[in-house]
Amino acid sequence: METTTTTAIQPLNEQDLALDVRELTLGTLTTNALQLRDHVAATLERYTPENYSEENVDQAKADRAILNKAAKELNDKRIQIEREWSAPFQEFKGIIGETVRMITEGSTKIDAVVKGVESKAKAEKRAAIEELWASKNITLIPLSAVWDERWLNKSKRLPAIEKEMGQRLLKIEADLEALGVVPEQDREVVRAYYLNNLDITRALAYSTELQDSRKRLQDSEARKQAESEAQATRQEYVAPTAAQAPTAEAPEVVVPEILERTMVVRGTREQLVALAEYMKASGIWFRKA
Domain boundaries, the chain: 36-109, 143-235
- pLDDT of residue 160 exceeding 90, the answer is yes
pLDDT value, residue 146: 92
Please enumerate in sequence order all residues whose Cβ is within 8 A of that of 183, keeping only pairs 6 or more positions apart, or say none: 207, 211
The dihedral over CA atoms of 195, 197, 202, 206, expressed in degrees to the nearest 10, equals -60
Residue 203 carries which side chain, given as an amino acid letter? A
Average pLDDT over residues 279-288: 74
Radius of gyration of the chain (CA): 52
Considering only CA atoms, which of 102, 150, 152, 164 is closest in space to residue 128?
Answer: 152
**Banded model confidence at residue 150, pLDDT cuts 50, 70, 90:** very high
- pLDDT of residue 267 exceeding 90, the answer is no
Q: Which residue has the higher pLDDT, 32 or 163?
A: 163
CB 158 within 8 A of CB 128: yes
CB 207 within 8 A of CB 190: yes
In percent, the amount of the chain with pLDDT more than 90 equals 35
Cα–Cα dist 155/153, whole Å: 5
SS3 state of residue 61: helix
pLDDT value, residue 113: 92
SS3 state of residue 27: coil
- pLDDT of residue 59 exceeding 70, the answer is yes
Cα–Cα dist 44/50, whole Å: 12
- pLDDT of residue 166 exceeding 60, the answer is yes
